[in-house]
């Protein structure tokens, strides 16, 4: 996500404090103490590991917390270390701001009371004075985003005075954290118990800087993870008064490779939007975690026109690190520049025989990479003839095609008869799967025939994976045969083993959103 620098000035919003009308002000504040600096935070989500909640209380306006994109609600909370009289909260929003949110307080970090409600927020600096609330924990709870991004704060500052006289001593940091076991989708952890003057009540487990679970014991299993991926874990202790220890040292642990190795292929489409740099950076980070032998793209690799300058400024800095193992296809945005930028950037990788469509073999699989834009426009008869001839010569048992425009689609653009010439050729040879993009969601179907009806025996599986980094589309309606559909950024991890294949969809935090297969080639 490409971000602007913090905006100057004071946001104007309609504010309600326990039923009273207040106005956000930029006037000189009282001489309160800054209570939140460097204190422990928890968040509903993070866009990527580098955007953890601690960035919002580190005193720097060059680091930030950022939530998952496109999802409401989201929140960030800070533990002030003891009961305090909170008089002011100052929020320095990044470009992704909250239009509607609440400032909430809690004594224990679990039960929350509204302190102030905000509607009509417009970002920049929100400074809320005269709060006079008693709380140990302060949470900013966003319920409506002001942009299509998520929520992001350069700084969350809480001012006031410590007022509590109870237990304020935090437990010691846990020690001896280690991975005690792994599977293809889980990591089990164990550690040495913390000590506390009163007693530890639970431990918070952090994965890549974000809390993913709690436990009252000194063991925890984190599940639903991508196979063959590395994660960083730490643990911190909490006592009954809400005191939170420092985090333990970080331990790296990797899930086991998927059972369908040894060939791993990362697949993505609709990737590098200049306005969403950190999003395609986050999906590229997941590709790196997969350590694939190949990377396949299903078009619209670079927005907005697919020029060489855009490719160099954006795609090359994220997914470009995999260029040498990439087997790309074109999209309509590449065609906005008549494929000039695409051809100059990828060179012979994308034009192995002087054409923007080609085929190759990986193990027992035959792949065909097609240029669907001319077909979509009603032309491309020579390409269809080439495909027919290529498939007739194929000697591999498994066949997978990929291109940009989906033939069958539950999303905004719907089914496209224009793409039937490509789909029908694959259906004639009982191909195993077709992967595409264009609509910015993920969708997989049962095998479909040439008319889009389920045909388990002879049909072709359809997968749409337009979730590589551009804005997501959520206005889809499931068509016949859909097995899974959602709109969330991520990468398809395709795994080949002999004459079988399977895949996972991995989001930008390394969580597995969908698993399919293994399927045996026909």
The residues pairing with 127 across neighbouring beta strands, listed in sequence order, are 90
**H or E element at residue 363:** none
What would the pLDDT profile of 363-404 be if each residue is shown by its tens digit? 999 999 999 999 999 999 999 999 999 999 999 999 999 999
pLDDT at 273 over 60: yes
Q: What is the pLDDT of residue 261?
A: 54
Rounded CA-CA distance 268/466 in Å is: 7
pLDDT at 84 over 50: yes
For domain 175-255, the question of CATH label 2.60.40.10 is answered with yes
Binned at pLDDT 50, 70 and 90, residue 177 comes out as very high
For domain 263-520, give the fold: Purple Acid Phosphatase; chain A, domain 2 (3.60.21)
For domain 33-161, give the fold: Jelly Rolls (2.60.120)
pTM of the entire structure? 0.73
pLDDT at 318 over 80: yes
Rounded CA-CA distance 413/407 in Å is: 10
* Mean pLDDT calculated for residue range 432-453: 98
* Mean pLDDT calculated for residue range 51-68: 92
Q: Give 376's contacts (C-beta < 8 A, 6+ positions apart).
A: 332, 405, 416, 418, 419
Higher pLDDT, 22 or 44: 44
CA of 321: how far to CAs of 53, 55, 284, 496, in Å?
Answer: 28, 27, 9, 23
pLDDT at 229 over 70: yes
What would the pLDDT profile of 282-309 be if each residue is shown by its tens digit? 999 999 999 999 999 999 999 999 999 9
Between 134-143, 157-166, 178-187, 355-364, the lowest mean confidence (pLDDT) is in 157-166
pLDDT at 8 over 60: no
Task: List b or e across 237-273, with b for residues whose CB sees 16 or more CB atoms inside 10 angstroms.
Answer: bbbebbbbbebbeebebebbbbebeebbbbbbbbbbb
161 contacts 84 by C-beta, under 8 angstroms: yes
User: Strand 326-327 to strand 294-297: parallel, antiparallel, or no bridges (unpaired)?
Assistant: parallel
Rounded CA-CA distance 51/64 in Å is: 6
The residues pairing with 349 across neighbouring beta strands, listed in sequence order, are none
Q: What is the pLDDT of residue 26?
A: 38
Task: List b or e across 66-85, with b for residues whose CB sees 16 or more CB atoms inside 10 angstroms.
Answer: bbbbbeebbbbbbbbbbbbb
Give the three-state DSSP class for 369.
strand
Task: List b or e across 124-135, with b for residues whose CB sees 16 or more CB atoms inside 10 angstroms.
Answer: bbbbbbebebeb
Rounded CA-CA distance 36/155 in Å is: 10
Intra-chain end-to-end CA distance of the chain, in Å: 42
The domain ranges of the chain are: 33-161, 175-255, 263-520
Q: What are phi and psi of 47, to 5 degrees?
A: -65, -40
Rounded CA-CA distance 77/86 in Å is: 14
């Amino acid at each position: 996500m490409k971000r602007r620098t913090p905006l100057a000035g004071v946001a104007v919003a309609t504010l309600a404090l326990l039923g009273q009308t207040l106005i956000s002000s930029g006037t000189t504040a009282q001489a309160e103490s800054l209570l939140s600096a460097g204190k422990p935070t928890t968040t509903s989500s993070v866009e990527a590991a580098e955007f953890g909640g601690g960035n919002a209380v580190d005193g720097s306006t060059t680091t930030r917390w950022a939530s998952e994109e496109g999802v409401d609600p989201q929140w960030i909370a800070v533990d002030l270390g003891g009961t305090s009289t909170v008089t002011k909260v100052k929020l320095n929003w990044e470009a992704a701001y909250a239009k509607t949110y609440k400032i909430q307080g809690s004594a224990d970090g679990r039960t929350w009371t509204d302190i102030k409600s905000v509607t009509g927020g417009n970002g920049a600096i929100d400074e809320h004075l005269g709060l006079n609330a008693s709380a140990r924990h302060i949470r900013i709870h966003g319920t409506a985003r002001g942009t299509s991004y998520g929520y992001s704060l350069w700084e969350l500052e809480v001012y006031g005075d410590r007022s509590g006289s109870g237990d304020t001593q935090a437990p010691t940091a846990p020690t001896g954290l280690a991975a005690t076991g792994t599977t293809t989708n889980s990591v089990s952890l164990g550690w040495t118990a913390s000590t506390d003057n009163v007693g530890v009540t639970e431990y918070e487990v952090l994965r890549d800087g974000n809390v993913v679970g709690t436990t009252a014991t000194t063991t925890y299993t984190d599940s639903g993870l991508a196979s063959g991926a590395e994660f960083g874990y730490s643990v911190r202790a909490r006592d009954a008064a809400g005191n939170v220890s420092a985090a333990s040292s970080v331990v790296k642990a990797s899930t086991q490779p998927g059972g369908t190795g040894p060939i791993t292929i990362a697949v993505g489409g609709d990737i590098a939007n200049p306005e969403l740099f950190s999003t395609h950076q986050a999906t590229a980070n997941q590709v790196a975690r997969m350590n694939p032998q190949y990377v396949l793209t299903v078009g619209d690799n670079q927005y907005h026109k697919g020029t060489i300058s855009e490719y160099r400024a954006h795609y090359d800095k994220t997914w470009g690190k995999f260029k040498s193992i990439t087997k790309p296809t074109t999209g309509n945005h590449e065609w906005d520049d008549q494929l000039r930028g695409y051809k100059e950037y990828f060179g012979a990788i994308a034009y192995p025989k002087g054409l923007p469509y080609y085929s190759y073999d990986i193990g027992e699989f035959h792949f065909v990479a097609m240029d669907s834009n001319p077909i979509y426009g009603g032309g491309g008869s020579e390409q269809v003839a080439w495909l027919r001839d290529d498939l007739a010569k194929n000697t591999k048992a498994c066949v997978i095609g990929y291109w940009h425009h989906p033939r069958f689609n539950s999303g905004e653009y719907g089914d496209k008869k224009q793409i039937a010439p490509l789909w029908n050729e694959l259906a004639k040879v009982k191909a195993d799967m077709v992967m595409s993009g264009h609509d910015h969601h993920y969708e997989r179907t049962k095998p479909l025939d040439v008319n889009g009806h389920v045909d388990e025996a002879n049909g072709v599986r359809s997968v749409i994976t337009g979730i590589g980094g551009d804005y997501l589309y959520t206005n889809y309606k499931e068509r016949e045969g859909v097995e899974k559909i959602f709109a969330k950024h991520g990468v398809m991890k395709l795994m080949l083993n002999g004459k079988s294949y399977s895949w996972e969809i991995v989001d930008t935090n390394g969580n597995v959103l969908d698993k399919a297969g293994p399927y045996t080639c026909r």
